[in-house]
Amino acid sequence: MSQVDTPGEKPVIDIAVRRLMEGTPKIELTAAFPCEGPFEVQLPIWRPGRYEVGNFARYVYDMMGQQSDGSWIELQKTSLHAWHVPEEIGRVRWTFFADLFNAGSTGVAADILYINPVNCFLYLPDHQDWGYAIELTDVPAGWPVATGLPQSNGRWQARDVQHVMDSPILAADALTHLQYESNGIPFHIWIYGQDQPNPDSFLADHVAFTDSQIAHFGSFPAEHYHFMYVLPEREVRHGVEHEDTTVIAIGPSAKSQTQGGYDELIGIASHELYHAWNVKRIRPAEWTPYEFAQACPSRMGYVAEGVTTYMGDLFLFECGVVDLPGWCRLMERLLDRHVNNPGRLNSSVAQSSFDTWLDGYEAGVPGRKGSIYVEGAVLAFLCDVRIMQLTGGEASLQTAMRMLWEQFGMERIGLTESDYWSVLNEVAGATDALDDLRLHYADGTEDSWDDLVAAMEWQGLGLTKNHRDGRWHVSISST
Ligand SMILES: [Zn+2]
């Protein structure tokens, strides 16, 4: 292709987005690429946070190219997710389905434009360093816009493909905006939805877990952070982490008025903020950087999601948002799912991590696999207690996570399984301190019940299970 020269400046792809509200909700995207054809444009096939093939091309209604005389022609596919742009095509225009409201989707209505560029933006595989300038053409000037992207000249700017694909944009005619600061970092809470959580306690709880997490990591990875809450009237419970934002979707919005729904929101929020370190920066080598055009299996999902699930809940206890009985209930829920899933005795959690790309987000066939969230969190708990036992309480799993942040995350060095386990062993004080846990419960399929009972006992907690009505019921007592 020939590139249009812009001396001294990196080429920028201009993308204009507008809502199409007649019939099925859609968006129309028009991109001006800083080059002339022929070239190929690609749509991501998956999105970070969900380690399976998303096949976003299934939401594309049409893909058109504008010729020099102004007329539009249909572009031909070169693969399921890529299109050929012939010579003399200046702009590309496509229509994308936009009636999905979860934490990683794209959805529009009369009062909202919500996009995750990773499912609807084209990119040029050979020019992933090119920037993006995004214009929301039909969003009224008065609408608040929540995004981590900076704005200049009325357009939202992204450095490159990695940046744009990790930057959701939420614009609506009404967004509640709460703000706080922690360790000098500005934090923003944006809420879309009919019914919303109590702003005072919501803000206070965010401040508490944010302060606590930053104190334990020593520093925060981003210059700012945005919690974007999408509370639609549909059934949804979902959160997705990004570099400097998270989207959390819970619906119907009235759930946020109940104690259970409120607790879920805060639980997801603490989990997602922990991801700002663990997985966004302390990131498996297979996802560093993200390769959006192909499946990228990693055996380390139990670190990405398991450690985050365990630590997200633990920080709620650490900062006082939940008390000890509250933390016990959260662990009971996890252990309940753990003991009732025979799949953990068939596939190791490392193998189940690798296989999320096959069936990680569905029940799958009976008894085949474990959950990276549940089995990963159970393993994280065992590692945490082991490190505390061996160091007399001087160090914990969080000490290791801080070291991983400083040695790998800050430098953006992709993490391997052996890196992870050697840092945990180092913190525990011996090169083989956690080898049995890795062998039995990460790479192996041993039953961990006896070790769990012993670990809880060491914490002063009693763990029991009994079988009734065809399933196990787990109970943790703190007396
Ligand atoms: Zn997560």
**Statement to judge: residues 206 and 97 lie in one domain:** no
How many domains does the chain fold into? 3
**Statement to judge: residues 308 and 446 lie in one domain:** yes
**Statement to judge: residues 281 and 413 lie in one domain:** yes
Among candidate residues 171, 199, 228, the one where a domain is terminated: 171
**Statement to judge: residues 365 and 248 lie in one domain:** no
**Statement to judge: residues 257 and 389 lie in one domain:** no
**Statement to judge: residues 18 and 145 lie in one domain:** yes
Ligand 1 centroid–CA 270 distance in Å is 10
Ligand 1 centroid–CA 367 distance in Å is 23
Ligand 1 centroid–CA 278 distance in Å is 9
Ligand 1 centroid–CA 49 distance in Å is 7
Report the Cα–Cα distance between both ends of the chain, in Å, rounded: 71
Ligand 1 centroid–CA 308 distance in Å is 6
**Statement to judge: residues 321 and 382 lie in one domain:** yes
Task: Determine if the peptide bond prior to 289 is cis (ω within 30°).
Answer: yes
**Statement to judge: residues 30 and 88 lie in one domain:** yes
Range of the domain at 252: 175-276
The rounded Cα 477 to chain-centroid distance in angstroms is 33
Ligand 1 centroid–CA 370 distance in Å is 16
Total-model pTM:
0.97
**Statement to judge: residues 365 and 466 lie in one domain:** yes
Ligand 1 centroid–CA 70 distance in Å is 46
**Statement to judge: residues 146 and 183 lie in one domain:** no
Ligand 1 centroid–CA 7 distance in Å is 42
Per-residue pLDDT of the chain (479 residues; tens, 9 = 90+): 545 545 568 999 999 999 999 999 999 999 999 987 799 999 999 999 999 999 999 999 999 999 999 999 999 999 999 999 999 898 999 999 999 999 999 999 999 999 999 999 999 999 999 999 999 999 999 999 999 999 998 999 999 999 999 999 999 999 999 999 999 999 999 999 999 999 999 999 999 999 999 999 999 999 999 999 999 999 999 999 999 999 999 999 999 999 999 999 999 999 999 999 999 999 999 999 999 999 999 999 999 999 999 999 999 999 999 999 999 999 999 999 999 999 999 999 999 999 999 998 999 999 999 999 999 999 999 999 999 999 999 999 999 999 999 999 999 999 999 999 999 999 999 999 999 999 999 999 999 999 999 999 999 999 999 999 999 999 999 86
**Statement to judge: residues 160 and 217 lie in one domain:** no
Among candidate residues 129, 150, 171, the one where a domain is terminated: 171
**Statement to judge: residues 241 and 139 lie in one domain:** no
Among candidate residues 136, 151, 171, the one where a domain is terminated: 171
The CATH number assigned to the domain holding 253 equals 1.10.390.10
